[in-house]
Structure formats: structure tokens, C-alpha cells
Structure 1
Amino acid sequence: MPRNAVIGVDIGTSSSKGVLVGLDGTLIRSAVREHTPDRPGPGRFEMDASVWWREFGELSRELTAAGDTTVVAVGVSGMGPCVLLTDEHDTPLRPAVLYGVDTRSVAQIRRIEKELGADAIIARGGSALTTQAAGPKIAWIAEEEPGLYARARRLYMPSSWLVRKLAGAYVLDHHSASQCTPLYDTHAGDWYAPWAEQVAPGIDLPPLRWSGEAAGVLTAEAARETGLPAGIPVTTGTVDAWAEALSVGAQHTGDLMLMYGTTMFLIHTVPEPLTSPSLWGTVGALPGTRNLAGGMATSGAVTNWLRDLFTGADHTELTRLAAESGPGANGLLLLPYFSGERTPVMDPHARGVIAGLTLSHTRGDLYRAALEATGFGVRHNIETIEAAGGDIRRVVAVGGGTQGPLWTRIVSDIAGRPQELRTVTIGASYGGALLAAQLVADVSIDDWNPVRETVTPRTESAARYDELYALYRRLYPDTMATVHALAAVQDR
């Protein structure tokens, strides 16, 4: 007799991932569809929403092809905040503008800050206005593509678009809304109409629910397209990093989640709202939770870039060579700002820098320097979180970068923090499956996904990394004028 199970699907930057999970948390099956965002110009990252729905259908059919399960609920998540605008019939008007990796909205940020006041935006919305926020992205479309914008009526993100296709519902979760600065009031827990009408005129913003609430049930049409049973509940969903945090139980006060992926994301759960001009203050995925969050624009993206440059090498070989290189990468230092930088630098015009190169440096040294750059960026964010009033008591790691021991070891050594690793580190899709399971059963993440090991920092590396971290912090201001000039050349 087929066992009951749930499906979780996450739409990420470089792939869509799906999992089929038993109600006891057992990972029955997983599947992946890789994709590449479009880059129509410097600092621009977009994706067609048809990719998200097509890949969901492919994943759901692959996961259930064996016929050994009965799917009883669906959970979704996706990269964000993204901006997909549709007309009143839910026809997408253009490809979605992606989250903070897309830096096109600098002029709109300046204008909106001048009109609303930078301090007022932080006070009401929890975050400074940056290229991460959805509000300026909407404003960019309104200003640069006015004919198209005149037909825009609805706002979607990857997770809410899947909900629309699956359940026919127009809805968004509170956390995603809180990243739509300055449209959302984090204190009132609702859209702030005066600013929404000013920044996103004509858009009928979606009703809001919490991530684990049911948005509706699978329609008959969606059942035909996905192979899933009609009538099963579909979660409201959320942004991928917040689903990642749920997948490893990092939602308690004092927790910090580190998400190792194409980008690095950090989510610290706090007991009351905290704000910082260098971080993002948001509501959490669950009712009553608050977060202070950060994100690096690249992490795994840089290691992928190096892999592609080094013909014939793969990550396994490069990781082995990086381990042989040893702490400090034989005197190499890398700034990982290859797509600008998000927190705490908040500089869309930042660029990558590799300092200290000699003719004796190897592929392993360069790959090691990239891994260490993530560690230095994490340490910089942690120090900024704590300076803003955060109290980090536990660090939990998740994501593809936790699969091998080297990267997490390097980050713990540099940041001086132990990291818990759970049994399942697949991430957001598993978190989405958990929320789906909680719609139909009484389950907890500690039962589903217990801790399997803790990576502790090594004291013998501390002095070396302290010295290099000081140089890392100096390297950005010392090179800023040069890389800004180069960014201007690239943007021509």
C-alpha cells in the first residue's frame, strides 16, 4: 500500500529542487532541474516565470513516478524578493526581476529615499532601502517600461507564483512582504497603503498569510499538469533562505542560520525588532518571529566560476587542492564582491578583487582563497549583527556547501563559531516539505532532522585568520575607488 508523503519544491537561482518526504521526515526521493538566469545587461538578472512552473511539473512527476506514495500536501519556496508583474488575468508582462543580485534600481532607491526619508523607511520597514528590496525594482519597471507597467495589476514571487498555478490563489507570505521595502509596515504587519500607492501605483498587492498556512488546495487543472492529487492543501510558502532555516530548526531566539549556496545567507532570530542600516530587519516565516538578516551576493557562485575557468577540474578535485593549500591560501586574499555586495557593505558597484597573486600560486590556492572569502564575509556580517544588538547563541549550517567538511571548517575557524549540521542539509525544499507535513500531521523538525555533528573552530588557525581578516577589512576601502571606476566602465 502506498505510504503518505509530502512534496517540497524550491525555485532557486541556479536550479529548482524537489523532495518527496514521508510524514516521519524520511527523504524518499529528490530531484533537480538546473537553469540559468538571463542577464540582459550589466547588473541585471531576470528569469521567465514559465521556467518555474515547467520545472515544478517535471519535478513532481519524477518524484512520484514510482507510484509508491500518496502525496497529501505540497510546500513551496523560492528565491526572493523577486518582482514578477502580471496583468489582471495573471499573464506575466515581462521576466521576473530577481533579488539583490539584480542591481538596476540604484537611481530609484535614491529618489524614494529622498521622497520618504531614509530613516523613516528603516523605522517603518525594518531595513534600509537597497537593491535587495522589491519596492525599487517595481519603481524601475514603472519608470523604464511605462507602457508595460500601465497594464500591471498583480505582484508575484517564485513561491507565490507556484501557489497561483497550483491552487489558483493570489496570496503572499508576511516574510516575503517584509522584503518589499518600503511597501510593508513591519510593526502593523500589513501593507502600508500610502507608500505602496506612491512607489507601486496601480498594483493590487496580494492578501497576506503566514508561510505555514494553507493558501488553498490543488485545482483539477494543476492536478492534470503535475500528476498530483486534486484537493490536497498547498502552503503559502516563503523565500528560500527562510525555508532553509526551518529545515534545520533555526527559528528560535538566538539562532543564526548560515545558508551555503550560490549566495550566502544569514538569518538571526531576535526577540524584538532590530534595525541596522547595514542589515535587513524582517518579520519571520512563523507568526511572532522577527529576524535580523544578511546576505552575501556571491559565495558558491565564485567557486563555480573558478571551476568553469579551470578546464577539466570539478569541485571535488579543487576542494582537495584547497585543503592542501592550507590556511591563508599561501598569502592570497579575495574579495567575493563579484556581483556587487549586499550586507554589510551594501554596495552594488563593488567588484571582486584577488590580492597577492604570484606566479607560484596554484588552482588550489585560488579555490582556497574563495572559500576563505566566504568565511571573512560571514565574520563581517556576524560582527555587524552583534553590533546592532543581536545575541547569537547557536549557529546552524545548511545547504549544498555543507556536504564536504572543508568549507564549514574554514568558516568556523575564521568566525570562531561552532556550527551545527543536521542530518538532512538539502535545504529549502525540505523546509517546504516540513510546512506541508504540518498541515496534515503533528510533526516537528527535531524529530524529522536531528543534529548529526558540530563543527568546532580550531584554535591553531585563529591567529593566522585574525591577521588575514584585518587585511580583508582594509582591502575593500583601499580598492573601492578603483573598482567603482571599473564598474562604471563595465556599465557603459
Structure 2
Amino acid sequence: MYYIGIDLGTSAVKLLLMDETGRIDNIVSREYGIAFPHPGWSEQEPADWWDAVCDGIPALLQGFDASLVRGIGAGGQMHGLVVLDKDDKVIRPCILWNDGRTQKQVDYLNNEIGKDKLSRYTANIAFAGFTAPKLLWLRDNEPENFARIEKIMLPKDYINYRLTGVHCTDYSDASGMLLLDVEHKCWSREMLALCGVREAQLPKLFESWQPVGTLTAEAAALLGLPADVIVCAGAGDNAAAAVGCGAVGGGRCNISLGTSGTVFITSDSFGVDSHNALHSFAHADGGYHLMGCILSAASCNKWWNEEILHTQDFAAEQAPITPDKLGANDVYFLPYLMGERSPHNDPAARGAFLGLRMDTPRAALTQAVLEGVAFAIRDCVEIARAQGVEIAASTLCGGGAKSPLWREILANVLGIPLTLPQTEQGPGYGGAMLAAVACGAYPSVQVCADALVRAKSTTEPDPAIVEKYNARYALWHTLYPALKASYAAMEALQ
């Protein structure tokens, strides 16, 4: 039997075909564009996602017996606002997770409604990327579009709707909307009233592994699949990646170095970071998790290499960074190219290099980029540690995790061992695992993860380098507060 995992990312959809033993038999990806209509804005056309899925799945199945496909599960980019009209047509482009236009609405929610109330209603405070501030922005700036809304959903939910005809979401993804009462796993009546929406406009809630329906006749014909293929609710990309890396059940950690960077800490019970610097969300295994999210991670390295150095040979740029240079770099980088979420919640923040001299070599800046992202990840880890959460080790996934140098830097900056799973396909693999549970191949997400996820390699920290990075991190940590007022002044001049 086969299960299809969908990783609906920011720049591409990655599709994988997994058999019941967890083996990946094929992988296909299809790219799509991102629009930046104004500085700090980020949008995509949901039709582009669907077109990519429709083009990719038949290619994924070439050479395989499509009649053996039993289920489909998706992990998707979180927080994006997809709105449909009464005919289920998309009203406007999706406002993405890394869009920063909602600062006025975020300030209103956090300062006028109040962080205490928001945390009580949803277990979280407002961040620029969350869905609820985008709804308020739409109501304030595009009232004609807001009035047409019949259904509100998230990116992967739109794919599930096109597959099944069902308006659905799961608890892990819905947690990032600022509309869900995360502790009680229901829509927050108070937040719906604040945003001027009705519960009927929101999708039905499911656990990530629960079936939401089977393929419509139209979708089955388009994709070349049987109509009885089961589609599960799926999960937000970070929750799906955590499942795919085996971070299931309480007391586990998974770090992702994707377009964004996340620290994902699992728990069997509900809990909230007292400062709300970390997100408190539901997990795809039925439990909960705390999550820190930095908006630019591997995307910083991509920007530095492709846009500034005009190269795609990332390994060649990293080659001069020998082991003796770790913890000894005098150049510092702030990775806030799209503003920042955890822990600063500052859309006005910007990237910066500091410590440049006439004799600074090119490789020092490349190293600074890798270290700056690692330091920002540590910011999130330190928030969790301050709450009494012990993080002794972590799994690691995402495109940045493919770099041995970056793994070594991150392990030493955090001072913990980092383990790469044997099958490192993040959200797509987690989505396929959730589909297998939905189809009854495994009785639970925990049993599925225990059976399928194996370690590939572990990067251990070096105590001497850890000590050097502790000193460098202490200095780096002072840079954002020193520049915060300047960032606000720059924003005011735009």
C-alpha cells in the first residue's frame, strides 16, 4: 500500500510516495512564485498550489500502481489567510505567514484588547504573521472583500478542500490563527467576535490523523487516483515535520532549518510560556507543544549566496570555514530579513552585519550568516529553558540541516547533540505517516513514529567550542536591543 505526503511550502510543493514500511519510493516537487506587492508584504495564489499538486501527483505515480494508494496527508505553511466566497471561489491572494503588513492590527490586539485576554482566549498573543490580524487588516482595508467571505481557511486546508470538497482544518494548524482556544480545542467565541466573523465561516476541526473525506470524482480523475483514497486533516508544517522526525509524545524537541527556523518542544499536557514569547499550540499527535519561530533561517543563507554573492554553490562558500574558526568569528549577523517573530515580535526588525573591518574575508560573512541564525534559534531555546523546560537533545530537519558545517555550528551554539533522521523529508513524511494512521495501518501517531523513524547521524557539541560560542552569543544577544529604536525609525521613514 502507498501513502502520499504533501509538503505545501512557501516556494514549492514537495510530494512523496511512502509505502507501509516507511520507505520513500518517489519524490517530486513543483515550484511556484511569491508576490511582494509592497515592502513587507507576501502573497500567493492558492490556484498555483492546486495546479502544482495536480501536475505533481501524476508525475509522482509514474511507474507505480496508483490503485494501491490508500491515503493522502498534508503538512502546510501555517497562518496564511485563504478566503472563499459563497461559490467557494478564492476572493483574493493568500496573505502568507511571513507578511508583515498587520502591525496596526497586532498593536490593537496586544495593547488595546490586551495580551492577558488574548492569552486567556487562545493561549497566545498576536504576531504579525498570524491569521486573525490579517482578518482585521482585510476588514479595515478591503471591506468589500471582507464582506464576501463565506469560508476562512489555511493553505493546506485549501488543498484538502480541493481534494475532498470538505472545509476542514486540524488543531495544530488552527492553533496559529489566533482564533482557536488551544487548551479546549474549540473556536474562541471571544476572538470570533473581535474579528467580526461567525463560526460558520470557519472550517470543521479535526485531529491531524483523522479522515476528513475521500477524493471527489473530479479530483480522482485529475490526479489519476481511486475515488476511495482517504484524505486526513494533516497538520501545520512544523507539527508535520515533528511527526516525520519522531518528535512525538512529551519531552521531545525538533529544530527546523527551513525557510523559517523553528524550535518545537512537545508536551503531553497544555502549557503556556509566561511571557508569550513562544507559541503554545496543539500537536499533531493529540498533545501540545511550545514553539519558537524565527522568520528567516535557511532563507538567510539563500539570500546571502544567491542575491549577494551570486552563487548557488553553497558548499564552496562554506569550505574555507575550518574547525578552528568556530567560535572565533568577530563578524555578527542579525537574521531579521523579514522582521522577527520569536522572541521579539517586531516586524520592523531588519538584517544587519556588525564587526566588519578592512581585513574581513568573505568567508567570515558567510560564517556570520550561519551563526546568526543559530544564535536566533538559541534565543528561542533560552526562553524555554527559562520556563524550566529541559532541552537535552533535539532532532533536526529542513534544508539547512543538510550542511554539516551548519549542524556543527548549531550543536555548539545550543550545546546539545542534534540527530538527523534516516528519512529527512520533514512535513511531507509526517503527512504520509498521518495518512497511514488515518487508513488504519497504525493505531496511533506514536506507534507509527516508533515504527518508522530511525536516526541517521548525530552531531555532538564540543565543550571547548561551546564555551567560545557562549561568549559570542552573549555579545550577539545585546545587538537587537541596541538597534531596536533605529529599526523603528527606519520603518517610520518608509
Matched, 1:198 2:194: yes
Query: What residue identity is the alignment partner of 1:474?
Result: T
Whole-Å separation in 2 of the counterparts to 1:334 and 1:384: 20
Over residues 162-193 of structure 1, what are the superposed CA-to-partner deviations in whole Å (9 max), with x where a residue is unaligned? 11000111111112222111x22123210122
Whole-Å separation in 1 of the counterparts to 2:74 and 2:87: 22
Question: Which secondary structure state, in structure 1, belongs to the residue aligned with residue 174 of structure 2?
Answer: helix
**Superposition map of 1:31-46 within 5 A:** 31-46=28-43
Partner residue in 1 for 2:72: 74
Whole-Å separation in 2 of the counterparts to 1:254 and 1:380: 19
Whole-Å separation in 1 of the counterparts to 2:487 and 2:59: 46
Q: Is residue 16–residue 27 contact of structure 2 (8 Å, CA) maintained in 1?
A: yes
Measured on the aligned residues, the alpha-carbon RMSD in Å equals 1.7
Q: Is residue 121–residue 188 contact of structure 2 (8 Å, CA) maintained in 1?
A: no
Q: Is residue 123–residue 182 contact of structure 2 (8 Å, CA) maintained in 1?
A: yes
Query: What residue identity is the alignment partner of 1:227?
Result: G
Q: Is residue 32–residue 49 contact of structure 2 (8 Å, CA) maintained in 1?
A: no
Cα 1:325–1:42 change in 2 (3 A) is farther
**Superposition map of 1:326-337 within 5 A:** 326-328=325-327, 330-337=329-336
Partner residue in 2 for 1:163: 160
The percentage of aligned residue pairs carrying the same residue is 29
**Superposition map of 1:81-480 within 5 A:** 81-99=79-97, 101-181=98-178, 183-202=179-198, 204-270=201-267, 271-275=269-273, 276-287=275-286, 289-308=287-306, 309-323=308-322, 326-328=325-327, 330-440=329-439, 441-442=441-442, 444-480=448-484
Aligned length: 484
Question: Which secondary structure state, in structure 2, belongs to the residue aligned with residue 179 of structure 1?
Answer: helix
Whole-Å separation in 2 of the counterparts to 1:238 and 1:159: 8
Query: What residue identity is the alignment partner of 1:460?
Result: A
Q: Is residue 400–residue 425 contact of structure 1 (8 Å, CA) maintained in 2?
A: no
TM-score, length-normalised on structure 2?
Answer: 0.94
Cα 1:24–1:353 change in 2 (3 A) is same
Q: Is residue 32–residue 52 contact of structure 2 (8 Å, CA) maintained in 1?
A: no
Cα 1:382–1:263 change in 2 (3 A) is same
Partner residue in 2 for 1:64: 61
Over residues 218-255 of structure 1, what are the superposed CA-to-partner deviations in whole Å (9 max), with x where a residue is unaligned? 11100111122211100111111110000011022111
Question: Which secondary structure state, in structure 1, belongs to the residue aligned with residue 80 of structure 2?
Answer: coil
Q: Is residue 128–residue 279 contact of structure 1 (8 Å, CA) maintained in 2?
A: no
Query: What residue identity is the alignment partner of 2:18?
Result: V
Whole-Å separation in 2 of the counterparts to 1:200 and 1:419: 44
Whole-Å separation in 2 of the counterparts to 1:325 and 1:305: 26
TM-score, length-normalised on structure 1?
Answer: 0.95
Q: Is residue 250–residue 257 contact of structure 1 (8 Å, CA) maintained in 2?
A: yes
Query: What residue identity is the alignment partner of 2:259?
Result: T
Whole-Å separation in 2 of the counterparts to 1:478 and 1:269: 33
Whole-Å separation in 2 of the counterparts to 1:272 and 1:438: 23
Over residues 143-167 of structure 1, what are the superposed CA-to-partner deviations in whole Å (9 max), with x where a residue is unaligned? 1000111111111111111110001
Partner residue in 2 for 1:481: 485
Query: What residue identity is the alignment partner of 2:192?
Result: A
Cα 1:193–1:312 change in 2 (3 A) is closer
User: Structure 1 residue 117: deviation in Å?
Assistant: 2.4
Question: Which secondary structure state, in structure 1, belongs to the residue aligned with residue 271 of structure 2?
Answer: coil
Q: Is residue 77–residue 428 contact of structure 1 (8 Å, CA) maintained in 2?
A: yes
Partner residue in 2 for 1:30: 27
Whole-Å separation in 2 of the counterparts to 1:389 and 1:282: 18
User: Structure 1 residue 416: deviation in Å?
Assistant: 0.4
Cα 1:8–1:463 change in 2 (3 A) is same
Cα 1:464–1:389 change in 2 (3 A) is closer
Question: Which secondary structure state, in structure 2, belongs to the residue aligned with residue 117 of structure 1?
Answer: helix
Whole-Å separation in 1 of the counterparts to 2:146 and 2:354: 44
Query: What residue identity is the alignment partner of 2:279?
Result: W
- Please say which of residues 62-71 and 145-154 is displaced more in the overlay: 62-71
Cα 1:348–1:162 change in 2 (3 A) is same
Q: Which runs of 5+ in 2 are unaligned?
A: none
- Please say which of residues 265-274 and 473-482 is displaced more in the overlay: 265-274
Cα 1:194–1:380 change in 2 (3 A) is closer
Cα 1:332–1:145 change in 2 (3 A) is same
Q: Which runs of 5+ in 1 are unaligned?
A: none
Whole-Å separation in 2 of the counterparts to 1:312 and 1:404: 16
- Please say which of residues 158-167 and 438-447 is displaced more in the overlay: 438-447
Whole-Å separation in 1 of the counterparts to 2:311 and 2:328: 21
Whole-Å separation in 2 of the counterparts to 1:204 and 1:325: 57
Matched, 1:52 2:56: no
Whole-Å separation in 1 of the counterparts to 2:483 and 2:16: 44
Cα 1:52–1:325 change in 2 (3 A) is farther
